[in-house]
Amino acid sequence: MERPAVWSFETEPEFQAKLDWTRLFVREQVEPLDLLFPDRAFDPMPAALHKHVTSLKRQVREQGLWACHLGAELGGQGYGAVKLALLNEILGTSQGEHNLGWGPIVFGTQAPDTGNAEIIAHYGTQAQKDRYLRPLLEGEVFSSFSMTEPQGGADPGVFTASAYRDGDEWVINGEKWFTSNSPYASLFIVMAMTQAGQDVHRGASMFLVPAETPGIEIIRNVASAAHENALGTHGYIRYNAVRVPADHLLGAEGEGFAVAQTRLAGGRLHHAMRTVARCRQALDMMSERALSRVTKGSVLADKQLVQQAIADSYLDLEQFRLFVLRTAWICDTQGGAAARKDIAACKVLAARVMKDIVGRAIHLHGSLGMSNELPLALMWLQAPWMGVMDGPTEVHLITVARQHLKGYRPSDGLWPSAHLPSRRAAARQQLAGLLAEIEGR
């Protein structure tokens, strides 16, 4: 049979072999760490654990799968969006008790370090790369992205943290909220307003701030709903006249908003594919439960409402997965700007699909699904998290609508372009000769 020229839903054999190795490696080598050390992925590790994890990282490097989002000059493979999506779909199966899974750590793709490394590689000077990028790429240190503010939430237009130039230094003042990884970070990337009277698109700048810099006050580390209070990892931070050298400005002054956007688009696709993985786990658990549990004289799988729940979950999952992969394909073939609408749509769908599929799975498992003896309750808490992180759902819906409407224009005249009487009149005019011939005129 002749192979289709364009439409092909398969992965080239060489990369499929990489994916097969990754899937087996994550299941056999990484997931046991998730089970036994669920909250240690970012903590300082005991010597024996550090040695073990270093060995796993070495195996990943030998397969050429370390930090694959980076170019060869930075030690990665420079994989495009589709390959990264397929890889992240597998890594998404790795999660700890509180969502701090070992998979990204072992593969050099943990957030927020991936995005931070990307913007340092893109905007950083050679000196900045030598001091800060290399340790991130080697997985030797962790970093934080300090952008959101307590009074501003997702709206950078009302940010008040500021920085001013004082001789050979920048001085940073202000508060930041939910700075992820703050207890473990060796480096903070801080967004601050540097041009008074300008909006955020022209007045914000990014700074590299070492964690040991005087004046960094972590007011408290905030926990998500899935954490114990003592395990909070998102810093509420006050920068009290924090001084950094002038050469710690990342990118040009006033370019901070553009720097921030550079790191977000790819990460949203990776989040989406990791969501695919977790939704598939939930569907797998639901399917097993339906075939195992007997009630009212037959297995749950014989009940029509259970069948509907499984069918709806399968439809939701497969449509979402294909949409994410198509969006990644657009990124690879046309660039990230062309995929802006669909990246935003992926972000919206991730929260919706996860809520629906995991919710059905919990319901089918009853009290066991609500307990801490299955991962479903944790997944359920991650669904609203997906609707907030990297910008709330409402922001992305606006982006989708605005980008979509750019392909349309108002109708001409009184009636819509689909108005049937108007279309029939135009058709009669176009086919007047045919009509006359048929009518014998």
- d(CA 189, CA 224) in angstroms, rounded, equals 22
Q: Which helix (H) or strand (E) holds 166?
A: strand 162-166
Cα separation, 156 vs 152, in Å, equals 7
Give per-residue burial for 329-339: e unless 16+ CB within 10 Å, then b: bbbbeeebeeb
Let me know how long the chain is.
441
What the chain holds in terms of domains, given with CATH numbers, is 13-124 (1.10.540.10), 142-250 (2.40.110.10), 258-405 (1.20.140.10)
pLDDT score recorded for residue 100:
62
Q: Residue 256's pLDDT is what?
A: 93
> What does the pLDDT read at residue 382?
87
d(CA 99, CA 274): 12
C-alpha closest to that of 100 among 183, 44, 52, 38: 38
Q: Write phi, then psi, for 10 (nearest 5 degrees).
A: -145, 160
pLDDT at 351: 95
CA distance 319 to 326: 11
CA–CA dist 21, 24 (Å, integer) = 5
Q: Give the distance, in angstroms, between the CA of residue 12 and the centroid of all CA atoms in the same chain.
A: 25
Rounded Cα distance, 120 and 298, in Å: 59
Residue 339 tokens, joined: 């995929």
- Nearest CA to 22 out of 108, 135, 142, 141 is that of 108
Contact 67, 78 (CB under 8 A): no
Beta strands 162-166 and 169-180 are antiparallel
What is the model's pLDDT at position 65?
Answer: 95
Residue indicated by tokens 């030598």: 130
Backbone φ and ψ for 288, nearest 5 degrees, come out as: -60, -45
Divide the 441 residues of the chain into consecutive groups of 10 and give the mean pLDDT of each group: 68 95 97 86 82 96 90 80 93 72 90 88 93 87 93 86 97 95 94 90 95 96 68 90 98 92 76 93 98 96 98 98 96 92 95 97 96 91 86 92 96 95 96 92 66
Residues 6+ apart with CB under 8 A from 160: 149, 151, 152, 174, 193
Euclidean distance between CA atoms 347 and 99, whole angstroms: 18
CB atoms within 10 A of CB 437: 10
CA-CA distance, 284 to 93, in Å (whole number)? 12
pLDDT at residue 73, as a whole number: 76
What pLDDT was estimated at residue 33?
Answer: 94
Q: According to the model, what pLDDT value does residue 152 have?
A: 85
Between the two ends of the chain, the Cα-to-Cα distance in Å is: 52
The per-residue pLDDT for 230 is: 55
pLDDT attached to residue 200: 87
Answer whether 341's CB lies under 8 Å from 347's CB: no
What is the CB-side half-sphere exposure of residue 285 using CA atoms within 13 A?
A: 24
333 close to 378: Cβ distance less than 8 angstroms: no
Residue matched to tokens 């703050």: 182
Structure token pair of residue 256 = 């901070």
Q: What tokens were used for 223? A: 């926990």
